[in-house]
Amino acid sequence: MLDLEKLANLRPSKKIPTGIEGFEHISQGGLPQGRATLVTGSSGSGKTLFCTEFLYRSITELDRPCVYVTMEEPIEDVVKNVIDLGWGLADFAKNGKLGLIDASMEAFAGEEVGAFNLKGLITQIKVAIEKIHAEIVLIDSIGALFHHFHDERTIRREILRTVNAFKSMNITVILTSERLEEYGLISRHGVEEFVADNVIILRSVLEEESVRRTIQILKMRGNPHIKGEFPITISNTGLSIMALSAMELKQSSSNVRCSFGNKRLDEMTNGGIFRDSILLVSGPTGGGKTLMCATFVEEACRNNEKILIFAYEESRQQLMRNAHSWGIDFEKWEKKGLLKVICHYPEAFGLEEHLLMIQREIAAFKPKRLVMDSVSAMERVSTVRNFREFVIGLTSFVKQEEVCSLFTSTTPRLSGGDSITEAHISTITDIIILLRYVEVGGAMRRGIAVIKMRGSQHEKEIREFEIDQFGMHIGEPFKNVQNIILGVPQTSGMPEVDRLEEMFAHGE
């Protein structure tokens, strides 16, 4: 007979945090306590790592004892797989924080007599739970049951028997299962997801010759959660979920300005850039972008401000040599602890790994300024959508940390023109500076213009500038040259050519 009074007093399940970076946001608090969660995914998607990290964080950060039941891999392999991560499962077992049960086929090898069921295994797990007062049980993976049962109804019955046995004890149960397709059946046999209260799908998809891992909460019975797929990355500290929806526009706004390191450019921007700004310098190859970065770096170091450089198109030796050719000594600032240079090819990692590395380097070095030369290089290792997610994640993070940042973007044409990067970054950057080549009287010259500056007036003219061994020299505005921004400059007469030549001849 139903206990109506008991039913009337039921409350929503309390959520317990997993400790996995980003998961509490997309799950809005963690996993429901006392319920069963299925974690499913193809081979290599990170199922076992997700679950093992949940156990590790539960033991070390929340003091929740756990039981780990392995049904496929021998227990020695399970322990060995996470040693490099510093997760000492064997030590937890010795200290009474973790119960290890080997239910793999190797452990139970032998002749079967009579009908196979899970009563013995359930009893063994219950004993382990009571011994260490466990609150969480992980069974990895229930797909092994299909080696013993061949009838779908029997399989479903035995899984339900197992799950309900522990739910009645208010134990949080985690099950893992394999799937054959990234966007096909939820689980290999199409049964596992129906006996679980919550379903989490991990995917490992090959996109343009790069592997991209994602996580999706398919269902969470009776509990709210954020829908959709979120990129994840695996590092030497575990899993990290890149949830763009977790990023909030709550950073403070500063009226304090800092210098570019060039007096004329400061004048063009009405006194320099705001300390919490993101600056995009866009131009063709050889247009002066790296020189602007070097000037920006030197100005920060002269003011005893830490600055971090991420270079994706030049090696460390090239950066040092180029800066030295303009009289800027990067090595001196490195020795003083004010400068840190990190060089990687974009192809070295996926975009999620790059973003995670940038975030951690900023958190460790704590710079006041940041340079990325060039962010457009990331376009070639990702899809348009993934690149946009990377840009949003990057700009949101540096805004949150209030790091004054300079990004460069290489335009596809020598004369300038639009780029994918400009379309993606222009709406979330505070300042955009365009560098252009200008042909005047058969000679190649350079032009510079500030086309956007949030919260401040700025100069609208396009000025000429030169590069020599002392750096960048910005001259007077072009007066009789049109369509420079469009990449098809046209002069209205020879007087402009004569004026420009005379101006630079006298060092103006």
> Hey, which residues are catalytic here?
72, 313
Amino acid at 428: I
List the strands of the sheet with 404-410, edge to edge.
339-343, 307-311, 369-373, 404-410, 278-283, 431-440, 443-453, 463-468, 471-477
Beta bridge partners of 16: 31
Task: Tell me the longest C-alpha to C-alpha distance in the chain.
Answer: 103
Both tokens of 494, joined, read 């020879």
- Given a contact cutoff of 8 angstroms between Cβ atoms, the answer to whether 253 and 276 are in contact is yes
Beta bridge partners of 416: 413
Taking the C-alpha atoms of residue 425 and residue 421, their distance in angstroms, rounded to an integer, is 6
Beta bridge partners of 438: 445
- Given a contact cutoff of 8 angstroms between Cβ atoms, the answer to whether 201 and 186 are in contact is yes
Taking the C-alpha atoms of residue 456 and residue 467, their distance in angstroms, rounded to an integer, is 28
Q: Which of 200, 226, 231 is nearest to 214 (CA)?
A: 231
Taking the C-alpha atoms of residue 215 and residue 42, their distance in angstroms, rounded to an integer, is 12
As a whole number of Å, the end-to-end CA separation of the chain is 96
Which regions of 362-508 does DSSP assign to beta strands (E)? Answer: 369-373, 404-410, 431-440, 443-453, 463-468, 471-477, 481-482, 490-491
- Tell me how far CA of residue 305 lies from CA of 237, 275, 455, in angstroms: 29, 12, 24
Taking the C-alpha atoms of residue 76 and residue 82, their distance in angstroms, rounded to an integer, is 11
Amino acid at 140: D
